[in-house]
Amino acid sequence: MSIKHVGDIEKKNVAAGKDTTIQVLISAQEGPNFALRKFSMQPGGGMPRHTNSVEHEQYVLRGHARIGIGEEDYEVRAGDVVFIPEGAIHYYENIGKEPFEFLCIVPNKADEIKIVGEGC
């Protein structure tokens, strides 16, 4: 069992992202089945079109963003829940005036990430 405060967890820049950080709240070494991460994107920030080999379950904490999943674009805000199937092309773009933050739960499996396009 582990209890910690989000303020004590290191923020790391997302390599392919623009003005985007990640905090690993519960790592694959701590949780037997899932990892829990928190992403934060500054206004104008985001992540380019990419795929992952694992599914994503997400809960939006704050902000306003456009998320593309497959051929569809969605606008999301605090309180929205997002499911991204494994292998789906997706992207994120903060279109609000405040940071866009969300929790992301992924299964503890090898995750291959492929960038498939330019821009956020």
Q: How many helices (H) and strands (E) does the chain have?
A: 0, 10
Using an 8 Å Cβ cutoff, are 21 and 40 in contact? yes
Q: Which pLDDT tens digits describe the chain residue by residue (120 residues)?
A: 789 999 999 999 999 999 999 999 999 999 999 999 999 999 999 999 999 999 999 999 999 999 999 999 999 999 999 999 999 999 999 999 999 999 999 999 999 999 997 555
Using an 8 Å Cβ cutoff, are 106 and 58 in contact? no
- Distance (Å, rounded) from C-alpha 22 to C-alpha 96? 19
Cα angle vertex 104, ends 76, 87, to 5°?
85
pLDDT at 77: 98
Using an 8 Å Cβ cutoff, are 32 and 2 in contact? no
pLDDT at 120: 52
pLDDT at 1: 74
- Distance (Å, rounded) from C-alpha 73 to C-alpha 75? 7
pLDDT at 33: 97
pLDDT at 118: 58
